[in-house]
Structure 1
């Protein structure tokens, strides 16, 4: 049936729409050719991750000099810790005063402490070599995990694998690539200082399945639970490069881990760009920035160009916090004398400035500590008026017959009375650095 009304007749413009579209397309394409002709389409270099740090500069390093009388006394107090806590049976050292458990990290601290005590004249070379040889022999006889790598913790008396609570375990709890890297840095220093120990060092390393430590140049750690081993990438900026640098000294391919630029993300603290990491921690919190790895790299290896800039920024932020708030600040990882007994004092961590984080990511800023080892470490590296204030503030934390306490709580000024291998080793390392430079480069 036909409609009573007729449909409107299409306009000529509508009928010609396909021709117009074709002409406009040709004109647009021609315009695009002329526009592109003025643009450089050659491959672009990736953005420079160090660009946010372009306005930063390394700080001048403190000149080397003979330790003062007070510094020599400080070193003697630190060495007392090792005299008290090295097992006469094995030559390994307790991680915490009178707690007979150790890790590969503390074993590295032990070796550094012996070498630094020797450099400072606290022990003679013959004693240093005897102590080192005994420790190396014990390390070579450690039972290993199924992966062929050292467990995360051992009893220093029996050399049995243990949990972090020093409870024996047949299978172990896993291995830490960063901890093993810390030990390898010390082993390199030991064989450099005592060439007669090069053979035992190489024999020790040859007994481990080092291939399990790395994958495509990245550090690989492992966790053993319920009879299962789970391997995972380990290390964040600072710690990762420090451990990788140590492994490279033993001809291991840790090049990907050594490259700081792959995951570098600036974090703004006190108006300064700080070296953050794009990856999350295992508890799904943003990675932390703390003093520890930068101090170790400077005191042991000496800084390369990028590390010199990034370490200086970590230090500057802490000085800037003092300037703004009046709180003397020297934060790093360390033991606490109250539960949960270990925390990371950060410049930036978990997404916040100046967070204090437990191992599970819980924030507990009331336990921020002005760290003894960070005070001595930064003072040895930079020797500023501010670092002198830090050291002066911890001077009364020396216990003559036991060693140095961990630090002082910011909240009320009370001491963190924990006394550990790591803090006392760094006090020794720092004072020895003052004498003749980084552990790897010190004149003999």
Structure 2
């Protein structure tokens, strides 16, 4: 076969690698530009608070211990149990057949991580992802434009949050779609033969509708009318912007955390907080989640490394000051309202726990499984090892990892979810191989 034929055969791979390089170069350029304009932009004083934060070194070990692999196998069991054979989609929580694009992205990350860890071979990993891509190509979109906020796992049909069919749908979440876009980028890097199908998926999505003037835009139904709203706050917004940049979309304003940054000091640490309201209801909150994803998938940038370090060190400091193990993030809980945001700072207070609507639920603060495993993989400190040791007895080889431990009484938060088990796998794969974006490792 001659050079020209080989070049044609590899064209999809080459295009992806060029786009990936351009996207990462754009991120680097924005970092540099932001630094040179720091004295003129809103939030410069707040950003300067992080100049003295020394980022913790990433704790990539290059290997997996037998204990790591045992923990990973527990997490993978969730996906063995909850993958639908017809659609290839995965239940958002154990035996509950609904999903979002965020959760589907988590499943794809879990498959890639399981393959990196040797739990499944490349053939099974590629087959599982291929089936998901087929479903994404076939499933109906909201207004034929973008993925709906929720889908039935068994049928691929548009549903509401009660998993009931809805004709038009609920609208779209820009953050959820960006999470799926990040996963597609990782697929291209690790299984380039699937790049033509990921291109088919993204060709169906009118991504221009969810990016406007460099910002991420969500579509929300209100009284039968579609409303377009800026979506994302500091942390989540920058993670999502990186994902979109991988495919050449202009999300500069979403990546620019400085414009809406304020600082709150918690346990002596500067904590990055958004100055906008969360869902236009309650003061914004800071949780571990977006920084865990950024580190495990992209390996941090200069800014997110400092933010993540401060957020982690505040949690360790709380433990040192109170004796209370602390690893907070958003999580499911096993009773109403079923979902909470356990913050480092949120709703106007340190360590606030809030519902989706902003009610305080501090009694449901959870030492979260995913934060424990992820912080340990990222930073590998004595404290993170204490966290994992506390969580380790909860692993259920038949079901997977539950959400964690309720701080108030030490009982188990027994909800078992796709996101937590995906993060456990991503964390353990990171320990052995580094960030997910490193293809071929």
TM-score, normalised by the number of residues in structure 2: 0.89
Aligned to 1:392: 389
Larger RCO (CA within 8 A; separation ≥ 6):
2
In the TM superposition, residue 284 of structure 1 has moved relative to its aligned partner by 2.5
Does 1:285 find its partner at 2:282?
yes
Question: In structure 1, the residue corresponding to 2:282 is in which secondary structure?
Answer: coil
Matched, 1:58 2:55: yes
Corresponding residue for 1:382? 379
Larger Rg: 1
5 Å-filtered alignment, 1:342-381, equals: 342-381=339-378
Selected match of 1:45 from 40, 46, 61: 40
**2:125 equivalent to 1:128:** yes
Do residues 85 (structure 1) and 99 (structure 2) align?
no
After superposition, where does 1:306-325 map in structure 2 within 5 Å? 306-325=303-322
Deviation at 1:251, TM superposition (A): 0.9
| Aligned partner of residue 71 in structure 1, secondary structure | helix
- Residue 165 (structure 2) pairs with residue 165 (structure 1): no
Q: Counterpart of 2:58 in 1: which secondary structure?
A: coil
Aligned to 1:119: 116
2-structure distance, mates of 1:149, 1:312 = 35
Match for 1:222 among 219, 222, 225? Answer: 219
2: CA distance, partners of 1:274 / 1:442: 32
Kindly report which structure 2 residues correspond to 1:328-343, keeping only aligned pairs within 5 A, or say none. 328-343=325-340
* Pairing partner for 1:179 from 155, 158, 176: 176
Instruction: Compare 224-233 and 395-404 and name the one that shifted more.
Output: 224-233
Map Cα deviations across residues 239-274 of structure 1 (whole Å, 9 max, x no partner): 000001000111111111011111111111112111
1:414 maps to which residue? 411
The CA distance in 2 between the partners of 1:63 and 1:76, in whole Å, is 20
The Cα RMSD (Å) is 1.1
CA distance in 2, matches of 1:48, 1:417: 42
Give, in angstroms, the shift of residue 396 of structure 1: 1.1
For the residue of structure 1 that corresponds to 2:178, the secondary structure is helix
Shift of 1:54: 1.9
Q: Which residue is equivalent to 1:10? A: none
Q: Any conservation in 1 of the 2:60–2:377 contact (CA below 8 Å)? A: no
Post-superposition CA distance 1:51-97 (Å, at most 9, x none): 11122110111132311111100100100000100100000100000
CA–CA distance in structure 2, aligned partners of residues 80 and 271 of structure 1: 40
How many residues align structurally?
Answer: 401
Tell me which stretches of 4 or more aligned residues in structure 1 moved more than 4 Å.
none
User: Which residue of 2 is the match for residue 326 of structure 1?
Assistant: 323
What is residue 399 of structure 2 aligned with on the other side? 402
Deviates more, 1:264-273 or 1:431-440: 264-273
Cα contact 2:189–2:439 (8 A) shared by 1: no
Whole-angstrom CA distance in 1 between matches of 2:435 and 2:40: 35
Question: Shift in Å at residue 384 of structure 1?
Answer: 0.1
User: Match of 2:297?
Assistant: 300
SS in structure 2 opposite 1:53?
Answer: coil
Contact 1:79 1:424 in 2 (8 A): yes
